[in-house]
Structure 1
Amino acid sequence: MHSKDEKLSLLSEMIQFAKADKNFKEQEYNFIVVVASQLGIEKEEVDFLMKGEVEKKSLQPESQRILQFHRLVLLMNIDQEASPLEIQAIKDMGLKMGLRLEAVDTVLEKMHEYPNKVIPPKELIAIFTTFYN
């Protein structure tokens, strides 16, 4: 499991992404609070993160980076509106995580094939596996 600093970094990254389109919505905030709860982080700490960033921690192993990318895709689609700014931001974040652009693009393309644009975890893994073999 992640250290507390890594968890706060993950949440900070999600908050930055949610703010990328300059339209931070309550649905996005609530999703981040739920993820924080799953990570054992209190809502008050999320509120603190809303005011500023924490030091970015790189995720290891790659499976953790893919999981975080999946969280970002879910966050992007929570309001069923993915602006061009959000699409570019999520691509940039995927690249900064060290994920292959082809895999990121495939995820962003295939998400439209599923209800609420939620790609099942098995499909997500299959996409990344295809581009890493």
Structure 2
Amino acid sequence: MSTKTEKTILLSDMIRFRKSKEALDDLDFTFFEDVAEALEISKDELEVIYEGTNSPTHRKVSTERITHFHRLLLAMDIDKEPSTKDLEKAKNFGFRMGFHESAIELVMDSMGDYPNKVHTPGAFLEIFSDYYDNEEEE
């Protein structure tokens, strides 16, 4: 990720995604502080993002959208126990990012095939590329 805007969008989407829980705990906020630090986002900027004053921006390049969706799923699983509400929120993010329902379902259904329910980046990209390659052939 090269620009401040891209980094801010990622963190904003991760926070918005985690807020699907009834209440965020200290682990959640510590995680966001660590991510912000890694992305070189100040604590003041994190606070603004956390309060929801940052609006989302949609990515246009497919690989960026797929990578971003993967990051959101990684954020969802920081407590290792995604709720039904978390899973529905993840699906809705995928739909809003423009992914086909079948591709999203393949991702969700195969989560249990990986340690800690986390797809490897290669496997994640393969699911989407296989689906879209097959769709174009039809």
Same fold (TM over 0.5): yes
Which deviates further from its counterpart, 61-70 or 29-38? 29-38
Gap regions ≥5 residues in structure 2: 134-138
Q: Distance in 1 between matches of 2:19 and 2:32?
A: 12
* More displaced 10-residue stretch of structure 1: 27-36 or 17-26: 27-36
Residue 51 of structure 1 pairs with residue 42 of structure 2: no
TM-score normalized by the length of structure 1: 0.87
AA aligned opposite 2:37: S
2:13 alignment partner in structure 1: 13
8 Å Cα contact 1:33/1:43 also seen in 2: yes
Shift, 1:34, TM fit: 3.4
Q: Is 1:35 matched with 2:35? A: yes
Displacement of 1:35 after TM fit? 3.3
CA RMSD of aligned residues (A): 1.7
CA contact (8 A) 1:20 1:85 kept: yes
- Please give the alpha-carbon distance, in whole angstroms, between the structure 2 residues aligned to 1:30 and 1:108: 26
TM-score (norm 2): 0.85
**Structure 1: segments with no counterpart, 5+ residues:** none
- Superposition map of 1:74-89 within 5 A: 74-89=74-89
1:111 deviation in Å?
1.3
Q: Structure 1 segments of 4 or more deviating over 6 A?
A: none
Shift of 1:123: 0.5
Q: Deviations over 1:38-87 (max 9, x none)?
A: 43322331122111231221113111111111111111111011111111
Aligned partner letter, 1:62: S
> Alpha-carbon deviations, 1:88-129, whole Å to 9, x = none?
111011010111221111111111111111111110011001
**Separation (CA, whole Å) in 2 of partners of 1:39 and 1:77:** 20
**Comparing 45-54 and 23-32, the one that deviates more:** 23-32
Aligned residue in 2 for 1:112: 112
Percent of matched pairs sharing the same residue: 35
Counterpart-to-counterpart distance in 2, 1:62 and 1:86: 23
